[in-house]
Amino acid sequence: MLRHLSAIHVPYRLKRPFRISRGTKSVADTIFVEIRRGRHIGRGEGVPYTRYDETIDSVIAQIGSVRDEIEAGADRERLIEIMPPGAARNAIDCALWDLEAKQTRVSVVDRIGWGPLGPVDTAITISLDTPENMAAAAQQLQDVPLLKVKVDASDPIAALRAVRQVAPNPRMIVDPNESWSIDQLGSWQRQLVDLRVDLLEQPLPAKNDADLEGFESLIPLAADESGHVTDNLGQLARRYDYVNIKLDKTGGLTTALEMLEAAEREGLGLMMGCMVSSSLSIAPALIIAQRCAFVDLDGPTLLTEDRDNGVVETCGTMVPPKPGFWG
C-alpha cells in the first residue's frame, strides 16, 4: 500500500513580539507534514529559519522534491541520503517516526530503548527589550528553575543586571545570538561571572569561531548556530563546552540521536533547543532532552494557541504530551 504525503504552512500568532539580536517576530511559521498509509497517519513539523536561508516556500518545495520517494516507501535512512539537514527533512523524519510507531504499536522511546519520558525543567525565555521591560518580564518568572535571556551587543550587562535584581534564584542562560565580538566577550566575562550566568550561548558569529581557540572563558560556552551536525563536533570541542542540538538543524530525530552520541564521545555537554514552534516540534525533542544538562523547549509557551493535547509547562517544568499525540 502506497503512502500519501502532504505539507502545509501553519502559522501561529505569538502572545507578544519575540525579539532577538537578528530581528523581531510576531508569528511562528511552521510546516506541518502528514504521511498517511492506510488508516495510520504520521505527523511532523519543521520551522523554516531565515538564518539558514530557509523560507516557507523553499521548505515546502524541498518536501515536494522527495514526495515520490517517500510515498513509494523510502525509510529514514534513505531520507538522510536524499535530503540535506534542515526544517524540511526534520518534518518528514519525525512524521516517519510517528507513522512507524502507529503501525507497529511500539512507541518511539521504546524503539530507541530509553524508557518512558519524564518531565524536564525548560528554560523560559526573556526576549530582547529595554532593561526595564526585561526586568518586568523576569519579575513574573522569579520562581522558575531556568531563565534564558536574549541580549545583543548594546549594553547587555545592564539588561542582565535588571533581570538578576528581580530574579536572583533561577539558573541563567545568556544568548547573544552571534552579536558579540571576541573583545566584548573578554571584557564582559567577569561581570557575567558576578551575575551568576551558567551558560553563554553562541556569543560570536559562527564565522568567527576560530577566535575562541585558546580563549580562556570564565563561563561555559554553548555552540548553537555553529553546531548543526556531527561532522564538525571535533572542532567545536576545541572552542565550546556544550552544543545545542535542535531538530530543525540536524534534520530530524534520527540524526539528532546520532549527534547526541557523537557529542558525548567528544566530551561536549548537551543542550536541547527549539525554534518558536508548536508542541508537535517539542514532542520528539523531549526525547533528546532527557539526556541534556540544559533544556530550552519553551517555544509553544510563546503561542496564543497550541495544538490540542500538547506539552504542558508549569513554572518552568514541562510535561510531555498526552499519549497518542506523537510517537
Query: In the block, which residue shows the cell 508548536?
Result: 278
Phi, psi of 266 (to 5 degrees): -85, -5
How far apart, in whole angstroms, are the C-alpha atoms of residue 51 and residue 235?
A: 21
In the numeric block, which cell numbers belong to residue 313?
A: 509547562
For residue 72, name the pLDDT band (cuts at 50, 70, 90).
very high
Summarize the confidence of residues 208-222 as an average pLDDT. 95
Q: Would the pLDDT of 230 be above 80?
A: no
32-47 pLDDT per residue, tens: 999 999 999 999 999 9
CB 276 within 8 A of CB 48: no
In the numeric block, which cell numbers belong to residue 285?
A: 525533542
Which among 226, 248, 246, 247 is positioned nearest to 237, based on CA atoms? 226
The pLDDT assigned to 182 comes to 98
Give residue 275's identity as a one-letter amino acid code: M
Identify how many contiguous H helices and E strands the chain contains and give both numbers.
12, 14
Which among 126, 223, 241 is positioned nearest to 177, based on CA atoms? 223
Q: Would the pLDDT of 174 be above 90?
A: yes
The pLDDT assigned to 21 comes to 78
CB 139 within 8 A of CB 164: no
All domains in the chain, ordered by first residue: 4-112 (3.30.390.10), 120-319 (3.20.20.120)
For residue 202, name the pLDDT band (cuts at 50, 70, 90).
very high
For residue 2, name the pLDDT band (cuts at 50, 70, 90).
confident
For residue 148, name the pLDDT band (cuts at 50, 70, 90).
very high
User: Mapping DSSP to helix (H, G, I), strand (E, B) and coil, where does residue 268 land?
Assistant: coil
A 10 A CB-CB count for 123 gives 27
| More confident: 85 or 22 | 85
Q: Which residues are catalytic?
A: 150, 246
CB 273 within 8 A of CB 300: no
For residue 314, name the pLDDT band (cuts at 50, 70, 90).
very high
How far apart, in whole angstroms, are the C-alpha atoms of residue 142 and residue 171?
A: 10
How far apart, in whole angstroms, are the C-alpha atoms of residue 136 and residue 103?
A: 48
Calculate what percentage of the chain has a pLDDT beyond 70: 100
Summarize the confidence of residues 152-157 as an average pLDDT. 96
Dihedral sign for Cα atoms in the order 65, 67, 73, 74: positive
Q: Would the pLDDT of 282 be above 80?
A: yes
